[in-house]
Amino acid sequence: MFRTRVLLGAGLAIAAAVTLPIINALPAAAVAGRNLPANGKVLFLAGQTTPDLTALKQQVLDVDASFPRPGGVTLYTNISPNACNGLTATCNLNGNVFNFDQTLSEYPGAALAVGLYLADNPGCNNQPLRAIIGRQDADIAGALGQQYRQNLDNLITYLKNTNRAIYLRVGYEFDGPWNCYNTDFYKQAFRVVKQRIDALGATNVATVWQSATYPKDGDAQYKFDFSNPSHLTDWYPGDDVVDWIGMSTFYWDANFRQYQWACDTPTTASPKSLYDRSLTFARAHNKPAMISESTPQGYRTANLDASCTNVNNRVSLNGDWTKIGSWYDQYFSYVNANTDVLRAAAYINSNWEAITQFACPPGATAGSPNCTDGYWGNSRVQDNANIKANFKRELQNSVFVNGTLSGRGANWGGGTVPPTSNPPTSNPPTSPTPSPTGGNPGNRNAFATIEAESYDSQSGTQKVSTSTASGGVEVGYFGNNDWLQYNGVNFGGRNPNMVTFRYSSGRPTNQAFTLEFHAGSATGPVIAAPGLLGTGDWRTYKEISFNVSNLPAGTTTITAVAKVSDSADALDLDWFKFV
């Protein structure tokens, strides 16, 4: 895939808004570095433009106080004498809008990751790098070179005066062929940036050395050779000037060949192998690691479709949000599996199609005048209720700064929540027979376990007796539009955040369906619509927690309705409750 980033790279992240202490001591993990989050936790950041972050605040954080606030935010800037930098006034760079003062005021106490762009625009002359180094080449001798260096000092001083934990990504994605950096100039310039940070006393500013971790080699002559085992070593400016090791994670093995790279041939079979190499490098150098940029490139959360990243050839996902969910599942799984060294993660919560630089109409090819940077799609989590709810639950995990709950608890359609019992070998009968209704009118506690078989009325379902169910009975044979209704569910004066339930399914683990929860009848307002996957056996269970919305406090009727795309039975429901 061809990518060129004219002024900016990608990068965002989400976490919790607290003032982060600057910690230089060694935490529980065997890494050391400036601005390590306390107690071995992972800092989650959000970005990547000021409008992106304002929308996240207004559409998610301001309307849901239980949604963990970002522990940091991500923005971009440059030191080019003839370009705006966005530090104290709004700056529009090819549709990317930045206003550091505005974003910092909207996210009080949050850390700040800064992508410092040091490439030419356009060209591969490495003028910013050569100016930082202080070379006296004809094009930068005198006032122009001095202005570059003064702008660098002005940036560092601004970041110092924020009194925030700062992560300065110096020439981010240094090895991306689209940036066209010269290896030696880059390493020398990185060292000068660190020297100026120290000289100006900016002890709150940590340097981040971020690889593009890109699965396709560029010109090996210029060391854009990701498949080279010594690739990172060739670009490394030194332990004495690097505080953090960074990487980009736009592709995961379950996704990138099916959609994102279906129109191209990578030189690296597994993007994860590049991420692993970065973490191995960080461990070897005793440095903390950061996912500096991440987004499900090529997918649209609002439209549920996907495309190759180098050609806009969108195809529908047929309403199956879990096909995007698998990207998020691998992303959060990777973070959770590597917390010994991976101490920060940034996510790009952006509608790329609304940004001029990343526009790419249907049929356009990366590198063409109307699709310069390839196809990116829309990665805003708030544009899909299922993705937003699971994203929220991931951030509530106590491994993250401001996380307070145990474990991941999300279900992206890949079954991150393990079964609660060992599966017996028998299945229920395949031909349902009529069953009487349950009948438990009266006052039910919404926050206590409600057994599925205690329904007041039903359509199309049947009770199933089994020792693996709570109380020895569950309700099965759910087909499309079959439902269970529960009257008198009492929420008191409290609005619930989530519905939790236990289910099993004889469907394969890659086959999706939905269980909707309605307020009132089966045609009433939908308060939650978790997408589910088969568990592979009727006696293999999963417990799922899913965000609820639009549910008033007080007493109401709750109806659970199955939505299935075929005529076969979908699930057995054991119990549910609200939390």
Residues labelled as active-site residues:
173, 293
d(CA 161, CA 360): 39
Nearest alpha carbon to residue 101 among 54, 68, 37, 55 = 54
Strand partners, 517: 528, 560
Nearest alpha carbon to residue 302 among 291, 290, 288, 317 = 317
Overall size of the chain counted in residues:
579
Helix (H) or strand (E) segment spanning residue 502: strand 498-505
Strands 462-465 and 498-505: unpaired
Strands 315-316 and 572-578: unpaired
Nearest alpha carbon to residue 430 among 476, 475, 470 = 476
How many of the other CB atoms lie within 10 Å of CB of 260? Answer: 28
Collapsed DSSP state (helix, strand, coil) of residue 199: helix
**Secondary structure, 3-state, 63-89:** CCCCCCCCCEEEEEEECCCCCCCCCCC
d(CA 56, CA 400): 19
Strand partners, 116: 77, 170
Contact 494, 473 (CB under 8 A): no
Contact 5, 358 (CB under 8 A): no
